[in-house]
Structure 1
């Protein structure tokens, strides 16, 4: 099979995604590794880290109808949504499958700041609809500072950390002479903030935090290990755990709009693994199986609401964490030494390409789920993955099997031929790591 153009998704989406082969360059402070990925992984449990998410799109939405637009295009309830509050924003297509997820903060009565892919879905529907609102694409920095020492670092660099800010809310602090929005959420499962402000001041703010954090053991977080905090925290993400639900025929117009407006490729990325189908929608996910349906208000009417509410009444699958068997994982690496076929290599600590590597999950010979975001957590000394699995097999302690790798005749010419490996796995709690994000900051130093 010849290699397809990875941008040719309109007629052959599965083929285009199977043959894509891209290690995405985010630019900025996102190298493969800073010091050592083991040291970086320990930072959010033992000290703290600073990480750069400046690559995310940033959209300012204002106007009398801004909240109405958000309500129409997002599954979230906006009842009692106060100024100073943030949300995990989730948006779906008419079939109830996830198009985008990201974060939003309410800066004023008629002013909202959206980070990530939901910026595009929102801006698109503003253009298509009749709303009294406007948008502005902005150049901003977006840094995460997370971990048990993050408050002490902010005390040093900003005179005082914003300890009166509740989880999923924000305040303002001054760093290096600049006003910075400090939003209390992140991916690590630990106390911390996202720090946001004008891009022109990003270098000064970054350098000031690093200097102040030196005595507190701060580490810079690289691409090589950044997804492990999401894996431990049970937070699924676009590309690694689901394909944006925009590749079927009904979304052609939106894809065309994206090609004109997107800041980086939001359409095509690799899909790999033992899971296979002729239908690209089988790589889509809905908020029910990802655990996000509780964001909804049953009285709300939004894009995909009818389909999604029907799914919520009787869920087929749910999100779990899988612990992979140590000996079976060791066999994968052992196959590199000695004679015989080799199994598909497992990048450490997780795959070093932006890809959805989806592998079949079996129980008693039947496929019961799909495993994604495989990664090694040094803190727990375990290979883990997220998985959507049939609800009847979602109880922690349930034994399943993951079919690792595409086999000797992979669908994609960019994937090497290898033997498949059955890996025993056990359903575990999600999140795998204790969630400390909601800790009382007034008592966090005690």
Structure 2
């Protein structure tokens, strides 16, 4: 363990003071306007750029063994050409990393987002016959009811037979591209990946093909609303990865040395005041991912998660915020008294975990995150990890809005299902004609 590395780990207070630019990594804050862009994944489609996410290749005879040892998922029936949402935890069951994993061939895997570096770190400190390297790729989401028509303009009809959470290789403008059937909008669509040097070529080709299908470009201002509506909890918005506590300095130093940055672009805010950084960590069970946990193998955090799967304490729901109470927050800006803390529209414009207290009869029963306005549903919504006793739709609770040093507002809220919108990702693509 690197003691100097632990000294550099942030505290609750330092993360509260961190200024985080939400626009980092995204092409633009807005393109055609956030309302227009937000409606796109229900009525037409969008293209969004997530190329800032890291990606790695893991290859070798022991690659599968390594992944199995550090991931909650089963790898028994993981076929070549298949992808999965891989989740990696610490001994306490708190999520360290989660993201997309693809099996490229018998001994080669591609890991996107946070598992890229946690996998490489565990390879280096263990005894596995495998190699790890980062790769520079683009990662575009093309999602929505007309997305398949857009992509067929480019590659023909070969995508209609791709099963959900599987992928295939196609050509766009003579460039090799991997098309993965999945997405973060809860709608039919694909993610497109390929060498970063061709990113602009592919982006422009998709836009040209989508011109007659009302395609929109998705900007940073409203990008997280699809995660909120479809209940895709997000690192730095709904939980902090378990990399900030004492003992994780060595990993953070390794990540820095291997081009991954130190602790990422993240801060914390909101009415919830944790005593320890671990109060902002979450487990797969709390975030609605218990179905990913396979107890058919030994993995880091297995004992803790086995107990939690049997006896969950908190689960994830959506909260509908009372519109009159929300309008009181905005209305206070036009009054002489000190206003309530303003609400960014349609969502927070800092990349931070805004964690607000959720009360029932004055008792803390949950933590609200990812507060955002859905123009399509005309509702202010949030995700919430809530005590199982309060998880039933229709339960009335109170959200405390505002940082501890701000004037705070108690907002009535009602528990609703998560996901809030219908999940259309697995729809038969032949229905889109």
TM-score class normalised by the smaller sequence:
over 0.9
- Confirm or deny that 1:367 pairs with 2:355: no
| C-alpha separation in 2, matches of 1:308 and 1:434 | 28
Change in Cα spacing, 1:133 to 1:270, as seen in structure 2 (3 Å) is same
Q: Which runs of 5+ in 2 are unaligned?
A: none
1:20 corresponds in structure 2 to 18
Aligned pairs for 1:6-405 within 5 A: 10=8, 13-27=11-25, 29-267=26-264, 269-405=266-402
For residues 11 and 116 of structure 1, what CA distance do their matches in structure 2 show?
21
Cα separation, 1, equivalents of 2:265 and 2:298: 30
When residues 240 and 218 of structure 1 are mapped into structure 2, their CA distance, relative to the original with a 3 A threshold, is same
| Deviations, residues 370-412 of structure 1 (Å, cap 9, x unaligned) | 00000000000000000000000000000000000124xx2xx
* Counterpart Cα distance in 1 of 2:208 and 2:361: 55
Deviation sequence 1:245-282 (CA, Å, 0-9, x none): 11111222212212222434534621000000221110
Distance across 2 between alignment mates of 1:419 and 1:292 = 35
* Partner SS, residue 429 of structure 2: coil
Q: 1:314 to 1:9 in 2, by over 3 A?
A: farther
Contact kept? 2:18, 2:266, Cα under 8 Å: yes
Shift of 1:291: 1.2
Comparing 47-56 and 14-23, the one that deviates more:
14-23
Matches of 2:262 and 2:378 in 1, distance apart?
34
User: What secondary structure is seen at the aligned counterpart in 2 of 1:225?
Assistant: coil
Contact 1:255 1:267 in 2 (8 A): no
Which residue in 1 is equivalent to 2:429? 441
Shift in Å at residue 161 of structure 1? 4.9
Q: Deviations over 1:356-380 (max 9, x none)?
A: 0000000011110000000000000
Q: 2:410 aligns with which of 422, 426, 434?
A: 422
Distance 2:197 2:81 in 1: 24
Cα deviation, residue 283, structure 1:
0.5
Whole-Å separation in 2 of the counterparts to 1:293 and 1:252: 29
> Compared with structure 1, are the counterparts of its residues 319 and 230 closer, same or farther at alpha carbon in structure 2 (3 Å cutoff)?
same
Decide whether the 8 Å contact of 1:17 with 1:268 is kept in 2: no
Provide the aligned C-alpha RMSD in A: 1.4
Question: In 2, distance between residues paired with 1:267 and 1:210?
Answer: 31
For 1:204 and 1:233, how far apart are their aligned partners in 2?
30
Give unpaired runs (5+ residues) of structure 1: 1-6, 411-417
CA distance in 1, matches of 2:184, 2:37: 14
Equivalent position SS for 1:183 = strand
Question: Could you tell me how far 1:311 is from its partner in structure 2?
Answer: 1.5
Per the TM alignment, residue 208 of structure 1 is displaced from its structure 2 partner at its CA by: 0.6
Question: For the residues of structure 1 that align with 2:262 and 2:229, how far apart are their CA atoms?
Answer: 27
CA distance in 2, matches of 1:357, 1:25: 17
Q: Match of 1:413?
A: none
Deviations 1:139-166 (A, max 9, x none): 1111000000001101112233500011
More deviation in 155-164 or 181-190?
A: 155-164
TM-score of the two chains, using structure 1 as the length reference: 0.94
Question: 1:375, 1:385 within 8 Å by CA — same for their partners in 2?
Answer: yes
If the length of structure 2 is used for normalisation, what is the TM-score? 0.96
CA 1:268–1:55: 2 relative to 1, 3 Å: closer
Aligned to 1:4: none
Distance 2:321 2:129 in 1: 51
Q: Structure 1's 217 and 9: CA in aligned 2 closer, same or farther, altered over 3 A?
A: farther
Q: Residue 442 of structure 1: SS of its match in structure 2? A: helix
Range with bigger deviation, 291-300 or 174-183 = 291-300
Cα drift, residue 199 of structure 1: 1.0
Q: SS of 1:113's equivalent?
A: strand
